[in-house]
Structure 1
Amino acid sequence: MATASQTNGSQTQNGGKRNGQQKRTGKQSATQLSAQHGYSPSKKGKTKVQLPAPTRSAYPRKLEFASSNWKKLQEALQMNDKPKAADRSGQPKCEPVGAAKQWPKPVTKKPDVWFDGVDPMLLEPQVGIAAKSKLTVSNGLVKQGSFDKPTRTIGMDCEMVGVGPEGRESVLARVSIVNAMGHCIYDKFVKPREQVMDYRTSVSGVRPKDLENAEEFSVVQKEVSDLLEGRILVGHAVHHDLKVLFLSHPRKKIRDTSAYRPFRAMFGGRTPSLKRLSERILGVKVQEGEHSSIQDAQAAMRCYTLYKRQWEEDIRVGRQRVALQRTQAAVQQS
């Protein structure tokens, strides 16, 4: 059996071998580890050592604190910010590739007149054949993107020329019809049956060349009559237009802007001209110089559509009042 001294000697020898192996493997001490990873070896729990804050660049708060190099840099930047010179054509020079484009902001124009209080109204670009009207985009007599076919309500206006002695008698020369949205659905020149003595171009806008290949009166009369059938007719002093067409229309289906009482009340009870009525209600100037039957029909229709609800209510109440009066009269007679 080995003695205790031998056993202790062997353990000491083995421990020395282990320590030698640990030293040879390069195991680091606690001090070395704390220095490498930023921990304090004197405290338990490995308290982290605060590292120095990184260096940051800062702009000088005042110009007098800036160095000469900083001032030169600011001068160079200001020179680059100057607007580019334009070439001879007045257009700015091209920007370098990669530069951010500055797109111009879209310009939105506020319309002068609104249709039904919601949609902006734009004017119909197509005007007529020869007599050019004064229609402009800002007039607001046609509803954009609306129905351009005949509607239950249509507006009509005619232009006349003079025949007979000194051209005093008026005959039909042009007839234009628009729908409730202001779109022109019918526009034709009419060939007079008699020799024209006065074309009244300054007012009617009709010229001799407009009537050279014009339609026959009988054809126009038939086409207009078919359009009026069963529809509400709007116009300004529309009885004059029906007279030159030799047509009649039921009174209950006529809306005459020259005879509507609220319109007349705006002018002290007098009959307003279409020019003054349009300017007062719509803010649109019509009949400046040569007239256009398309524009006049559109203006009358627009005046009607603005007051349509009140107008139709007045008619309904009036009819009820008349019916009541007739009933009372019949009862009294019996």
Structure 2
Amino acid sequence: MPVTDYRTRWSGIQRRHLHNATPFTQAREEILSILEGKVVVGHSIYNDFEVLDMLHPCHMVRDTSTTRLLSRLAGFPSKCYPSLKTLANKLLNRTIQVGKRGHCSVEDAQAALDLYKLVEGEWEQEVQNKLRDDDAPLEPSFASSKHYMQDEYWPDDVIADSQ
């Protein structure tokens, strides 16, 4: 479908970025292949999954927008779901998503991953407790920062733009 709104303010994408771009169906298949069997960390990533028409197992998703661990750590009420920008500022002392060029996906991903790392142990314990039977022995978590996917998938020009 032709693009009618690039939402550059939020996406950072401009018309020039789509010249010679990988077709959506091919990109989707590559993304599904990369994410298969992986724990996905991000902020409000249900939006990304929806666009990709993708179902990822709930126990393999670490969405920093919905965990109460980060809200509590930041001092917000339990029903509050702060933005990535707010959490990064409050918990990481990092200013992100500023300027007119739009959000930088690399900067956002790094912030979400760093937020996850703040509560990783407690979060993984919660996941393990939900997954195991009451009588089953506690096993090491299948997900931890030792198992992150390498950044080999970031295009060089995107990494350079974020630094």
1:258–1:273 Cα contact (<8 Å) kept = yes
2:70–2:119 Cα contact (<8 Å) kept = no
| Partner Cα separation in structure 2 for residue 207 and residue 238 of structure 1 | 21
2:18 to 185, 208, 211: 211
2:70–2:115 Cα contact (<8 Å) kept = no
Query: Does residue 224 in structure 1 map to residue 31 in structure 2?
Result: yes
Higher helix share: 2
Higher strand share: 1
The residue aligned with 1:329 is: none
Q: What is the one-letter code of the residue matched to 2:70?
A: F
1:259 to 62, 66, 81: 66
1:234–1:257 Cα contact (<8 Å) kept = yes
The residue aligned with 1:293 is: 105
1:317 Cα offset (Å)? 2.9
User: Which structure is higher in RCO with an 8 Å CA cutoff and minimum separation 6?
Assistant: 2
1:274 Cα offset (Å)? 0.3
2:93 to 279, 283, 288: 283
Provide, for residues 27-51 of structure 1, a one-character-per-residue CA deviation record: whole Å limited to 9, x for no partner: xxxxxxxxxxxxxxxxxxxxxxxxx
2:88–2:94 Cα contact (<8 Å) kept = yes
The residue aligned with 2:9 is: 202
Mapping of residues 1-334 of structure 1, within 5 Å: 194-265=1-72, 266-269=75-78, 270-289=80-99, 290-320=102-132, 323-324=133-134
Q: What is the one-letter code of the residue matched to 1:280?
A: K
SS in 2 for 1:226: helix
2:41–2:112 Cα contact (<8 Å) kept = yes
1:203 Cα offset (Å)? 2.3
Between stretches 257-266 and 234-243, larger displacement belongs to: 257-266
| Partner Cα separation in structure 2 for residue 288 and residue 212 of structure 1 | 26
SS in 2 for 1:301: helix
Q: Number of residues paired by the alignment? A: 130
1:263–1:272 Cα contact (<8 Å) kept = no
1:280 Cα offset (Å)? 1.2
